[in-house]
Chains A and B, each alone.
Chain A
Amino acid sequence: EDQVTQSPEALRLQEGESSSLNCSYTVSGLRGLFWYRQDPGKGPEFLFTLYSAGEEKEKERLKATLTKKESFLHITAPKPEDSATYLCAVQAREAAGNKLTFGGGTRVLVKP
């Protein structure tokens, strides 16, 4: 069974204090890994897809990396508007219906 574990569960940062979120996964043949951002009461907003180990993607203050067992989301010099829950999800190569398996998320709070 595919599994995704995110750590830490919650992260409190001062504005400008860089940090990293971890997503560990086990999947029977990875088709891809997704990162989403979710604000309270809203649907997840797509950030990145990563296809293979060694791949990196960047968007503003966010950078996602992928190895064969885990992915990291690095937040550089965060601002209060980066406060959100960050979700990681994997899609197996043989996933019926292109099903995504989500991790529990990391709740990030950035204080001014």
Chain B
Amino acid sequence: DTEVTQTPKHLVMGMTNKKSLKCEQHMGHRAMYWYKQKAKKPPELMFVYSYEKLSINESVPSRFSPECPNSSLLNLHLHALQPEDSALYLCASNRDRGFYGYTFGSGTRLTVV
């Protein structure tokens, strides 16, 4: 298995809703990432998990809450989002040790109404 699987592919939520994005990989990668990408812009790093521990939080607002229940799963919990949070949310993974490229998932297209 050489894939990063993200669900759902599309999500529409209201500003008072609570929802979660899910990311799964079975490549034995020990680093997992959340990126946010707005239209026609490059991906921006949000969070890094290394060996199931949060190692980087790029000053992301608390309405985004990451969780890494085990080495294969990464969640992003969403609460009280704003319309400007609408974007493509990308999950990625890599082996963490040494120099290895990322494998990206297909992303979740989030629309906040």
Question: Which residues of A come within 8 Å of B, CB atoms?
Answer: 31-32, 34, 36, 41-46, 49, 51, 87, 91, 96-100, 102-105, 107
B104 in the interface, Cβ–Cβ < 8 Å? yes
| Residues on B with beta carbons closer than 8 Å to the beta carbon of A105 | 40, 42
- Pair B107/A41 contact, Cβ less than 8 Å: yes
- Pair B94/A43 contact, Cβ less than 8 Å: no
- Taking A43-B107, A44-B104 as known contacts, 9 extra A-B pairs with beta carbons closer than 8 A to each other, sorted by chain A number, are A41-B88, A43-B92, A44-B43, A45-B104, A46-B101, A49-B99, A51-B99, A97-B33, A105-B40
Total number of B residues with any Cβ neighbor in A under 8 Å: 28
- Pair A46/B102 contact, Cβ less than 8 Å: yes
- Pair B109/A102 contact, Cβ less than 8 Å: no
B31 in the interface, Cβ–Cβ < 8 Å? yes
Which of these, A36, A44, A45, A97, contacts B48 with CB under 8 Å?
A97
- Pair B42/A103 contact, Cβ less than 8 Å: yes
| Residues on B with beta carbons closer than 8 Å to the beta carbon of A87 | 42-43
| Residues A42 and B106 in contact in the complex (CB < 8 Å), given A97-B31, A102-B43, A104-B41 | yes
Question: Which residues of B come within 8 Å of A, CB atoms?
Answer: 4, 6, 31, 33, 40-43, 45, 48, 50, 55-56, 88, 90, 92, 94, 96, 99-107, 109
Q: Give 5 pairs: A residue, B residue, CB < 8 Å, sorted on A.
A: A41-B109, A51-B99, A97-B48, A99-B56, A102-B43
| Residues on A with beta carbons closer than 8 Å to the beta carbon of B100 | 98
| Residues on A with beta carbons closer than 8 Å to the beta carbon of B56 | 96-97, 99
What residue in chain B is nearest A43 (Cβ atoms)?
B104
